Amino acid sequence: MRKFKCDQELTEILKSQGFIDTSSKNDIAKGKKEFRFKKNRKYVRFDYDNFLFFEGSSSCSCFGRASVPEEDLILLFWYLNASSTDREEICSGSGFSVKIAQGNLKNFRTELEFYLSNKFKNRSISKLKRLVNNYDKVILT
């Protein structure tokens, strides 16, 4: 699994996922960068070599390190691109957390497999399919 550092490659990946570079000249001079997600209150900050994710005014404690694993980025993009209802399912109102998102993804896959293998007809199946398919569609380019 690849790890990404706060460099041009990660900058291009963020831009391809809908982030907009909002860095000030002062930040750039200090070796910092900031990327807003689709002009809302969620943003990523390169603080020197550290990758930080903010949701509103609070920082996500799951980042704040020099390199970010590929799976963590995929989970973050899955969360950000989800509808507000799906974001609640992914991280249940607590804001983004890699551990919670990983656990919930595993649960979604297990539940979906159970429902499909036992041929249940349940309204939850379409929601689970949508959540799992949306995760599988995230590609880092």
Q: Side-chain half-sphere of 52: how many Cα atoms within 13 Å?
A: 15
In terms of Cβ atoms closer than 10 Å to its own Cβ (0-12, 13-18, 19+), residue 76 is buried
Residue 62 confidence (pLDDT): 59
Which parts of the chain have pLDDT scores under 70?
57-64
How confident is the model at residue 95, as a pLDDT? 82
Q: Are 51 and 7 in contact (CB under 8 A)?
A: no
Output the six-digit token pair for 78: 């899955």
Contact 44, 52 (CB under 8 A): yes
Number of other CB atoms surrounding residue 5 within 10 Å: 13
pLDDT at 23 (0 to 100): 92
Note the residue count of the chain. 141
For the stretch 50-71, pLDDT in tens is 888 888 766 565 566 778 899 9
Residue 2 CB: number of other CB atoms within 10 A?
A: 11
Structure tokens at 62: 């799951």
Amino acid at 117: S
Q: Strand pairing partners for 58?
A: 55
At residue 71, the pLDDT reads 94
Three-state SS for 82? coil
Residues forming a β-bridge with 45: 34, 52
Model pLDDT, residue 48: 82
CA distance 41 to 28: 21
Q: What is the pLDDT of residue 67?
A: 85
